[in-house]
Amino acid sequence: MKTSPLMALATTLSLTLFAPAWAGKTLDQIKQKDQITCGVNTGVAGFGAADSQGKWSGIDVDVCKALAAAVLGSPDKVRYVPLSAPQRFTALQSGEVDILSRNTTVTLSRDTTLGLSLTAVLFYDGQGFMVPAKSGIKSAKQLKNATVCVQSGTTTERNLSDYSRAQKLNIKPVVFEKIDGSNAAYFSGRCQAYTTDASGLASIRSREAKNPKEHVILPDLISKEPLGPMVRKGDDEWLSIVRWTVYGLIEAEELGVTSANLSQLLNESTDPTVNRLIGKGDDLGKMLGLDKDWMARAIAAVGNYGEMFERHVGEKTPVGLKRGANALWTQGGLIYALPLR
């Protein structure tokens, strides 16, 4: 029977609409080397930092551990590559790392000109300022003619310039390529203030200050800094795996699924939404090129989003952050998982 042009078009559209995500090379390469190469910060406590034994931890690090558990069966199958701000995008573009999970802000220019894609927002932040408590400074608007430590190759550097110009403050940036240089300069008194993401300031204060109480993070936030892991454009399969693993960790908190109760839920849960997440219901993994248990392994490895937050940066840690904007949407925050179905 002869096929009409309209029928042929309908068939083509149907195949396009229901085709699986475009398969890329990243997942194949990860499976071949049996390891995820993860670009992380050179050292921000609570987000990505290594201890004296070289063991990495932090909320950004947990993303890579969750992915390794989901894809390769073990959270330990990760090689961490510490990257400075100027190095990070080139490392991902060149294929040196499979994912950049390094408190990186997503902006229009980064989305459109670097050949990189945001996967999901992991942490909502804003740029702030830290000053010595003895300075008596209570607001960023008091920083007229001040020297301010800042890292190069960051949105922070541009935001500082814009803020100084808009407020007519004539701020004098003292610029460093690496965070260690900024830290040393500020704590030695070379800079009157330090600017970066507010969460980063809390981390730096907790880790680097001889007495954290001697340094104050000002209440002013001068920017929006949505932070999240990034991957290369053109590999929709890997993009989807990273995105839905992050959303799965958030959904786990929404549903009350934790690393502690996961085994019990696997045996006893009758909730269809919970069962779908942990692999007892619909096979979500199949759509990602993974098995049914991918998300259960990720949760077992790092816990849900709330567990990650409280373990690394929460109020009971030295970083000491409140959930704030990073509370679940059901609790007045911005953290919201798209439906895993």
Q: Distance between CA atoms of 140 and 129, rounded to whole angstroms?
A: 7
Q: Distance between CA atoms of 254 and 242, rounded to whole angstroms?
A: 19
Summarised one tens digit per residue, pLDDT across range 12-23 is: 433 333 334 444
Dihedral-angle region of residue 207 (phi above 0 means left; psi in -120 to 50 means alpha; beta otherwise): alpha
Q: Please tell me what DSSP assigns to residue 292.
A: T
Give yes or no for residue 89 having a pLDDT over 50. yes
What confidence category does residue 281 fall into, taking pLDDT thresholds of 50, 70 and 90?
confident
Q: Distance between CA atoms of 147 and 1, rounded to whole angstroms?
A: 79
CATH class of 21-124+227-326: alpha beta
Percent above pLDDT 70 for the chain: 93
Summarised one tens digit per residue, pLDDT across range 218-252 is: 999 999 999 999 999 999 999 999 999 999 999 99
How far CA 240 is from CA of 110, 119, 144, 303, in Å, comes to: 19, 8, 46, 20
What angle do the packed helices 236-255 and 305-312 form, to 10 degrees?
80
Give yes or no for residue 289 having a pLDDT over 70. yes
Q: Cα dihedral sign for 212, 216, 220, 223?
A: negative
Helix (H, G, I), strand (E, B) or coil at 244: helix
Rounded to an integer, the average pLDDT of 122-141 is 96
Give yes or no for residue 10 having a pLDDT over 50. no
Summarised one tens digit per residue, pLDDT across range 91-106 is: 999 999 999 999 999 9
**pLDDT at residue 179 in the model:** 86
Nearest alpha carbon to residue 81 among 52, 119, 124, 38? 38
Q: Which residues contact 42 (CB under 8 A, 6 or more apart)?
A: 82, 83, 84, 178, 179, 180
Q: Please tell me what DSSP assigns to residue 141.
A: G
Rounded to an integer, the average pLDDT of 176-187 is 92
Burial of 312 (0-12, 13-18, 19+ CB in 10 A): buried
Dihedral-angle region of residue 17 (phi above 0 means left; psi in -120 to 50 means alpha; beta otherwise): alpha
**pLDDT at residue 313 in the model:** 96
Average pLDDT over the chain reads: 92
Q: Cα dihedral sign for 332, 300, 228, 48?
A: positive
Dihedral-angle region of residue 115 (phi above 0 means left; psi in -120 to 50 means alpha; beta otherwise): left
Q: Distance between CA atoms of 299 and 54, rounded to whole angstroms?
A: 24
Half-sphere exposure for 77 (CA within 13 Å, toward CB):
18
Q: Which residues of 47-86 are buried (b: 16+ CB within 10 A; e: fewer)?
A: bbbbeeeeebbbbbbbbbbbbbbbbbeebebbebbbbbbe
**pLDDT at residue 13 in the model:** 38
Q: Distance between CA atoms of 185 and 189, rounded to whole angstroms?
A: 6
Domain 21-124+227-326 and domain 127-223, same fold? Reply is yes
Rounded to an integer, the average pLDDT of 76-90 is 95
Rounded to an integer, the average pLDDT of 168-197 is 94
Give yes or no for residue 319 having a pLDDT over 90. yes
Provide the whole-model pTM: 0.87
The ranges assigned to domains in the chain are 21-124+227-326, 127-223
Rounded to an integer, the average pLDDT of 45-71 is 96
**Fold annotation for 127-223:** D-Maltodextrin-Binding Protein; domain 2 (3.40.190)
